[in-house]
Chain A
Amino acid sequence: MISKRLTKSLFSRSNLRAVIAIFVFLVLWEVGSRSKDWFGFPMPWVGHVPPPTAVLVAWYGLLGDPGYWQSWYMSTLRVLAGFLAAMVIGIPLGLFMAVNKTFHGIVFPSFEVLRPIPPLAWVPASIIFWPTQELSIAFVTFLGAFFTIVINVLGGAKSIDPRFFQSAQSMGSSQWDVFRRVVLPATLPSIVVGSAVGMGITWEVVVAAEMISGGGGTTGSGGGLGFFIWNSYVGGSYEQIVVGMISIGIAGFVCSELLRKLGGYLTPWLRKR
């Protein structure tokens, strides 16, 4: 009984500390932001940021605004398009590179040469190349996830214990069986990890791409959360900037968590530990 209480208090202690920490953070933020009104001088940096209470009020006002939800929808759509394209092209490419040495020798060095170029540096070239703004944003988003997924798949497939192949062959598997029943499942954990990381990058890229292309002055772009933030900045409604940031944070977090859950479901043998 004593022990039970002890563990309970132990668990709640870490939770309690988390709550305290976040609360202290919010209070400091509030005080810092209102320092100009309360103490007569703005604190450096934080003094220019809208306080959390004002952000909450602004957020509440936006909840009924269809334009705000339209931004969510647009960004999510772009992320999904770019991300799915990266999966569809990246996973087979990574697997094929791992399986075929000649192909690896030809493609991998070129791949490594292109990889250090940050995805956002592709934005202008992408706008020139693709006929619509929508496609160019999707392309840059695709690039963001693509390199990470390929590298993870390749690394995962290359680090498979060769004994797995030997044992599969000794039990009479054909080449195709080995690929389908050994290589694919053994690479699955790396695919999951690569996708989760790739998803994070995708959100990073989509925000920036929307800011650069949509916020750069061209009219008629389809909005999105990045555009929403940039628009709020240009329009001077600073509370909305923070609302936009938090919204993207939530969206990205939810997407990554969903992917992890899906990954956990696909790789049940990793669950117990």
Chain B
Amino acid sequence: MNQNQTADLLKRSMPFQTVPGEMLEAIAKLARYESYARGDVIYHQGDFADDVFIVSSGAVQHTLGIGFQATHPEKIVRSGGVFGWAAVLDNQRTRMAKTVCMERTELIRINGEELINFFKATPETGDIVMSRFATMINKEYTMPEEVAGHVPHFTQVPVTVATGLSLTMFRLSQWLKSPKPYLMMTGFGILLATWYLAVEVWKLPRFADMPGLTTVMKEWFSKDPVYGLSIWTPEYYQHIWVSVRRILIAFFLATVLGVPLGLFLGWSKTFREYVFPVFETLRPIPILAWVPLAIIMFQGSETPVIFLTFLASFYATALNTMLGVETIDESYSRAAACLGASKWQVFREVIVPGAMPFMFTGLQISIGVAWFSLVAGEMVAGEYGLGYVINTSYTMVRYPTIVIGMITLGIVGYVSSALVRMAGDYMMQWRVRELALGGR
């Protein structure tokens, strides 16, 4: 591994991320390259902490000893990861963890003493690096802030653990360095270019009738749209609002009725045996086959559309909630009973939160099928609304407006399911945090 590669590796690691290039090269000169076989122990807990390690390739299992109050003592360190940070702490020169290579591992090691001496010459950079060390020790190794606070500081200002913002910025910069955003742009580019070229430049057969990319965009953003609908016309927002309002009513009703029904279906066997068969008999009938019957049952044009949307959401919510209750491990209810909870308390404290993950999966599906049925309902029976826009634009030969309607539907639909997901994450912090740790 040459100097440049070492500098590149340092640049990828969290503590050295912000260090300027020429200084990285100077630090790279301190580094030594080493490679280990699978199963090799790099150091044991209690060893003298001399060097800091940065993984180039492979994987290292890092197990913190008991008594250091790490909430999650186990961690796998992979390429770009830094361990052995005890070597830079000012009160701690013994290893706090045991590290074992899980596969063939290449890494570089830098003497902690030499690193600290190096930073004494450039205290400002040193403080930034050390505060990033502190954040890493606290956030990634789940060590208490007191331990992380023991990194040395070179200027007069004491070092503090970085807040959420700098961590987010770090993740953002990592993302921008990965190929993902560029591939994504390539994908969008190909999609839009195909549309543009096929319709407007090459005028391929069949495609020539379709509204082209520029036509649609011009229409969508025009202050004086040819076919009467653009982001500057109030009707556009009126249609969106009508659709959103229907979704809101239907989704609200479906949740308010479907969640309790699902909870009781899962909780009480007797209730399920009586109610579920009827439910199962009606379920195979596609929601959209209800359209004419809905029109007959609920006169007018507004209620049938809302009913259809509601019905689709309701099935998804109730079924998934029921499934959620069924998957709760019995030992949770038993543990609660042991601890003196009454039947009702078990329901409130165990069944409801335990079914929550599935319930929110259900709500995610529910909002999706709600849009699905709403569009169908509006196309067949509605007045106003995005589905109606698409259908009338077809019959009145306003082709670009069809595409505007479709894009708008996509956006509004996406935003609504993102909102449901956010609500779920907000209500299930325990799960978010669990998954975040599991994902490492």
Instruction: Give the size of the chain B interface in residues (CB under 8 angstroms).
Output: 63
> Of B23-31, B160-168, B292-300, B329-337, which stretch is located at the interface?
B292-300
Question: Is B273 within 8 A of A17, CB to CB?
Answer: yes
Tell me the residues in window 393-440 of chain B with beta carbons closer than 8 Å to chain A beta carbons. 393-395, 399, 402-403, 405-407, 409-411, 413-414, 417
Given contacts A49-B296, A124-B391, contact A204 B406 (CB under 8 A): no
The CA-CA distance from A234 to B129 in the complex, in Å, is 75
The CA-CA distance from A216 to B297 in the complex, in Å, is 21
> Of B6-14, B108-116, B281-289, which stretch is located at the interface?
B281-289
Question: Is B184 within 8 A of A109, CB to CB?
Answer: yes
Question: Is A127 within 8 A of B187, CB to CB?
Answer: no
Residue from B183, B402, B411 within 8 A of A102 (CB atoms): B183
Question: Is A232 within 8 A of B292, CB to CB?
Answer: yes
Question: Is A45 within 8 A of B297, CB to CB?
Answer: yes
Question: Is A20 within 8 A of B292, CB to CB?
Answer: no
The CA-CA distance from A110 to B189 in the complex, in Å, is 9
Question: Is A49 within 8 A of B293, CB to CB?
Answer: yes
Residue from B209, B293, B380 within 8 A of A242 (CB atoms): B293
Question: Is B406 within 8 A of A125, CB to CB?
Answer: yes
Q: How far is the CB of A98 from chain B (nearest CB, A)?
A: 15
Question: Is A45 within 8 A of B191, CB to CB?
Answer: no
> Of B118-126, B258-266, B339-347, B370-378, which stretch is located at the interface?
B370-378
With a cutoff of 8 Å between Cβ atoms, the chain B residues found around residue A46 in the complex are 297
With a cutoff of 8 Å between Cβ atoms, the chain A residues found around residue B411 in the complex are 116
Question: Is A116 within 8 A of B288, CB to CB?
Answer: no
With a cutoff of 8 Å between Cβ atoms, the chain A residues found around residue B395 in the complex are 216
Q: Which of A17, A124, A246 has the most CB of B within 10 A?
A: A124
With a cutoff of 8 Å between Cβ atoms, the chain A residues found around residue B296 in the complex are 48-49, 233, 238, 241
A51 interfacial by beta-carbon distance below 8 Å: no
Question: Is B288 within 8 A of A127, CB to CB?
Answer: no
Given contacts A114-B410, A120-B372, A128-B210, contact A226 B403 (CB under 8 A): no
Question: Is B297 within 8 A of A252, CB to CB?
Answer: no
Residue from A21, A49, A215, A233 within 8 A of B278 (CB atoms): A21
With a cutoff of 8 Å between Cβ atoms, the chain A residues found around residue B276 in the complex are 18
Q: How far is the CB of A235 from chain B (nearest CB, A)?
A: 11
Instruction: Give the size of the chain A interface in residues (CB under 8 angstroms).
Output: 65
Q: Which of B184, B295, B376, B411 has the most CB of A within 10 A?
A: B376
Q: How far is the CB of A9 from chain B (nearest CB, A)?
A: 14
B291 interfacial by beta-carbon distance below 8 Å: yes
A123 interfacial by beta-carbon distance below 8 Å: yes
B89 interfacial by beta-carbon distance below 8 Å: no
A72 interfacial by beta-carbon distance below 8 Å: no
Closest chain B residue, CB of each to CB of A47: B297
The CA-CA distance from A246 to B289 in the complex, in Å, is 9
Interface string of A226-253 (1 = CB under 8 A from B): 1001101100001001101110111011
Q: Which of B288, B296, B395 has the most CB of A within 10 A?
A: B288
Question: Is B292 within 8 A of A203, CB to CB?
Answer: no
A93 interfacial by beta-carbon distance below 8 Å: no
Interface string of B246-275 (1 = CB under 8 A from A): 000000000000000000000000100111
Residue from B281, B286, B405 within 8 A of A121 (CB atoms): B405
With a cutoff of 8 Å between Cβ atoms, the chain B residues found around residue A117 in the complex are 406-407, 409-410, 413
The CA-CA distance from A172 to B184 in the complex, in Å, is 35
With a cutoff of 8 Å between Cβ atoms, the chain A residues found around residue B390 in the complex are 121, 123-124
Q: How far is the CB of B315 from chain A (nearest CB, A)?
A: 11
Closest chain B residue, CB of each to CB of A210: B288
A129 interfacial by beta-carbon distance below 8 Å: yes
Question: Is B180 within 8 A of A105, CB to CB?
Answer: yes
Q: How far is the CB of A137 from chain B (nearest CB, A)?
A: 13
In the complex, the 5 A-B pairs of residues with the closest C-beta atoms, listed nearest first: A105-B183, A124-B394, A233-B292, A18-B277, A116-B413
Chain A positions near chain B (C-beta within 8 angstroms): 13-14, 17-22, 25, 45-46, 48-49, 102, 105-110, 113-114, 116-125, 127-131, 200, 203-205, 207-208, 211-212, 215-216, 225-226, 229-230, 232-233, 238, 241-242, 244-246, 248-250, 252-253, 256
Can you name 19 A-B pairs with beta carbons within 8 Å? Answer: A22-B278, A114-B410, A117-B410, A118-B375, A120-B372, A123-B390, A123-B394, A124-B390, A124-B402, A125-B210, A128-B402, A129-B209, A203-B286, A204-B372, A208-B379, A230-B292, A238-B296, A242-B293, A256-B284
